[in-house]
Amino acid sequence: MSRAHGSKLISRHLKKEPTDLEEMPVIEINTDLSEDVLNIANGVFSPLKGFLCYNDLDNVVKEKRLESDTPWTIPILLDYDSKVANEGDTVLLVNKENGVRALLDVEDIYTYDKKTLSQEIYQTQDENHPGVANVNNMKQYIIGGKISLIDSKEREFDNYNLSPKETRFLFKEKGWKEIVAFQTRNPPHIGHEYVQKTALTFVDGIFINPIIGKKKVGDFRDEVILSSYETLMKYYYLKERAVMSILRTSMKYAGPREAIHHAIMRKNFGCTHFIVGRDHAGVGNYYGPYDAHDIFSEFPDLGIIPVFFRSFSRCTKCGSVVNDKICPHDQKYHINFSGTKIREILKNGDVPSEDIMRKEVAETILKYDKPFVE
Amino acid sequence: MTEEKDEKKYTTISIPFQLAEKIKKRIEGTGFHSLSSYATYVLREVISGMENEDEDEAFSKEDEEKVKDRLRALGYLD
């Protein structure tokens, strides 16, 4: 099993509620930031103990590393529009939706050039890029400092939500030493199953880790993704070789940098390998199809092994799922696993061909009146 | 940007001249643009390997029971 990133799994939970909460300045944070707080507290973002201070941010932007030289590619930032506190103060972070309450020890209040941030993290300043749009919408000040979680409320899908501490224990109990992680935002088609099982062949177990949260119109709803995976695992995976739990975090669409970030989070869950597909965490045409593969060569000290997959399809000549390294046949024999096409078929209430999607999976999706976000 | 917070981020190390020449030849035509970038890569790799040799800290008995109970309740463990 991998050691936590930065060597130690972080836990930032307060055992006792402070008595002076009412005297503290309060910052209301949005749901995305509250997920960051929870991910810091639970060790998903180890070695971070809080939101980035200036030196760490500047190093992440310019070197793709924290000031300590530990690989880190995505800034985890708390922005705020007025100086509600001073360096040295403790403030209370609150999010009503998730019931998150946390203390923040303010270490640094600063500003950062948004154009530099966008250019370095997203490789563009185009406002049509969702990550750039988020940067442009950031408030004036950035507050850095360690957090301590007081509490949060129970939420939907908590029964699928394991912390890194729990997955590490689970993998150990299962006797898994090498674990490959698979990230997803969609129900599984045959191509996904091929990738997962190909990787699983060489390790002890697979950790299927769907990202749950903010969705676009037309995306599959979270419960549909989870139940379709449950069906696939029930019928086509060995129980002792596959585990699924969710990850609550927002997609940044930072392509190669985000691929590293995704790998780091899975390392913290205990995984030794991480599947990286074509245009991982990409959007539009901002990144090359294999930029998210190439970036891993910059991190010999990442501590998790990337497993690269190129595009794959079903070859009617081979009679199996193939990729461009193993199939000699012309494209005309290939059926692509197009997400858009699969969605269209399902939207019409039809079951896709078994060449593309398992019948049981399709039927599970079709049981929902509204499988897509409207 | 608060540039005054920038600090010195690099230092110089000495290696034998002959070794440096060998490395320069070795990295020709690779993704490494300088002796420094190659040395940094190799040293990071070595240090990372050494860190991984350490043992993970053990769970406390109380922690272990809590985690085990939750995993059982959720059906992850029998």
Closest-CA residue of A relative to B44 is A301
Distance from CA of B23 to the nearest CA of A (A): 18
| Crossing angle for the helix pair A359-366 and A339-347, to the nearest 10 degrees | 60
Distance from CA of A98 to the nearest CA of B (A): 21
Which of chain B's residues have a Cβ under 8 Å away from the Cβ of A111? 1-2
Please judge whether B54 and A69 are an interchain contact, meaning their C-beta atoms are less than 8 angstroms apart: no
Tell me which residues of chain A have a pLDDT lower than 50. Answer: none
Please judge whether A169 and B71 are an interchain contact, meaning their C-beta atoms are less than 8 angstroms apart: yes
pLDDT of residue B3: 44
pLDDT of residue B58: 60
Yes or no: say if A91 and A103 are a contact pair by the CB < 8 Å rule.
yes
The answer to whether residue B4 scores a pLDDT higher than 60 is no
Q: What does the buried/exposed string (b/e) look like for A316-334 if buried means 16 or more CB atoms within 10 Å of the residue's CB? A: eeeeebbbeeebeeeeeeb
What is the per-residue pLDDT across B34-77, written as a single tens digit (0 to 9) for each?
899 899 888 888 887 776 555 555 667 888 899 999 999 999 99
d(CA A244, CA A280): 20
Measured CA distances, A143 to A48, A104, A147, A187, A358 (Å) = 14, 9, 11, 37, 48
Judged by phi (left if over 0) then psi (alpha if -120 to 50, else beta), residue A253 lies in left
Which residue out of B41, B50, B52, B56 would a mutagenesis test of the A interface target, given it has the greatest number of A Cβ atoms within 10 Å?
B56
Residue written as token pair 């991190």: A299
The answer to whether residue B28 scores a pLDDT higher than 90 is no
Measured CA distances, B13 to A138, A312, B10, B26, B51 (Å) = 41, 46, 10, 19, 22
Would you place residue B1 in the very low, low, confident or very high pLDDT band (cuts 50, 70, 90)? Answer: very low
A3 CB within 8 Å of a chain B CB:
yes
Fold exhibited by the domain A21-151: Sulfate adenylyltransferase (3.10.400)
Please judge whether A173 and B71 are an interchain contact, meaning their C-beta atoms are less than 8 angstroms apart: yes
The domain locations on chain B are: 14-53
Q: Which of residues 93-122 of A touch B (CB under 8 A)?
A: 110-113, 116
pLDDT of residue A324: 84
Q: How many CA atoms lie within 13 A of A273 on its CB side?
A: 23
A63 CB within 8 Å of a chain B CB:
yes
Prediction pTM value: 0.91
Distance from CA of B44 to the nearest CA of A (A): 6
Active site residues of A: 184-186
Which of chain A's residues have a Cβ under 8 Å away from the Cβ of B42? 300
What is the per-residue pLDDT across A147-197, written as a single tens digit (0 to 9) for each?
999 999 999 999 999 999 999 999 999 999 999 999 999 999 999 999 999
Q: List the A334-336 sheet strands across, edge first.
A: A320-323, A312-315, A334-336
Measured CA distances, B56 to A12, A79, B53 (Å) = 18, 35, 9
d(CA A127, CA A292): 22
Please judge whether A55 and B2 are an interchain contact, meaning their C-beta atoms are less than 8 angstroms apart: no
Candidate from B1, B64, B77 with C-beta closest to A112: B1
ipTM of the complex: 0.81
pLDDT of residue A49: 97
The domain locations on chain A are: 21-151, 158-250+311-366
Which of chain B's residues have a Cβ under 8 Å away from the Cβ of A54? 2, 5
d(CA A259, CA A275): 10
Which of chain B's residues have a Cβ under 8 Å away from the Cβ of A243? 76
Which of chain B's residues have a Cβ under 8 Å away from the Cβ of A110? 2, 5
Which of chain B's residues have a Cβ under 8 Å away from the Cβ of A165? 63, 67
Angle at A79 between CA A92 and CA A8, to 5 degrees: 70
Residue A325, both tokens = 């390294």
Distance from CA of A22 to the nearest CA of B (A): 31
Under CATH, which number does the domain A158-250+311-366 receive? Answer: 3.40.50.620
Report which DSSP code applies to A372: B
Closest-CA residue of A relative to B67 is A166
